[in-house]
Amino acid sequence: MKTEFRPLSKIQKSQLAQLARKGYEIASNYGDTDLTFTDWRHEQQLAAVNCSSLTKCIQRDYLPLRAHFQMLTGQDDKAFTDHLKSQPATDHADTDDTPEARAKIIGRIEQELQGSGYNLGYIRAIARNQYKTTFIENLTKKQLTQLLMTAKKRVATAKK
């Protein structure tokens, strides 16, 4: 199962509920809602990600939901950052090719290389040969996944 389709963790649900509570308190203080907290939160979640229940939300919904509640609490800078992280990296990229997804793969590459004698510079050299760039941060998710597989093979071969 792809990571983006996994359910939200308890910690993520808790963080979202806390942000929602702050947003509800602000909305209530300004008289913007006459709903109960639960009904208001469900309405907001439905508007943000088209899913009214946190138990049915998946990882792909986390950043857009957090950004929505951050906007409602006045944390516009954090909301903007979360929106950027949840969007495709470029206009022609796959929908799951986000900066966050790319950063996770780079992190997995770094973990794979730990204690192996190889470092990220080695992967950058491979990227230069294959993709004509040393800036692995600019590679697509698919290209980074290929580099991850290469790193795993090289580390396994070196251990033999």
Most distant CA atoms of the chain, gap in Å: 68
pLDDT tens per residue, range 117-149:
888 888 888 888 888 877 888 888 888 999 999
Residues 77, 16, single domain; the answer is: yes
Return phi, psi of residue 98, to 5°: -105, 160
Are 119 and 59 within one domain?
Answer: no
Residue 1 has pLDDT above 70, yes or no: no
DSSP-derived secondary structure for 9-30: PHHHHHHHHHHHHHHHHHHHHT
User: Does a structural domain hold residue 28?
Assistant: yes
Contacts for 122 with CB less than 8 Å, ≥ 6 apart: 113, 154
Burial of 26 (0-12, 13-18, 19+ CB in 10 A): middle
Same domain, 53 and 127: no
Report pLDDT digits (tens) over 35-44: 899 999 999 9
pLDDT above 90 for 20: yes
Q: Which long-range contacts (CB under 8 A, 24 or more apart) does 126-133 make?
A: 126/150
pLDDT 10s digits, 75-130: 988 888 887 777 765 555 566 777 888 888 999 999 999 988 888 888 888 888 88
94 inside domain: no
Mean pLDDT (whole number) for 22-26: 92
Global confidence as pTM = 0.59
Helix intervals (H) in the chain: 10-29, 37-49, 59-72, 76-86, 99-113, 120-131, 141-159
Give the domain extent around 133. Answer: 99-159
**pLDDT at 92 (0 to 100):** 57
More confident residue, 134 or 20: 20
Q: Supply the pLDDT for residue 90.
A: 59
Residue labelled with tokens 């006045």: 74
In a domain, residue 110? The reply is yes
Distance CA 102, CA 15 (A): 23
54, β-bridge pairs = none
Same domain, 78 and 108: no
The count of domains in the chain is 2
Cα 56 to Cα 29, 65, 68, 101, 149, distances in angstroms: 29, 13, 17, 21, 32
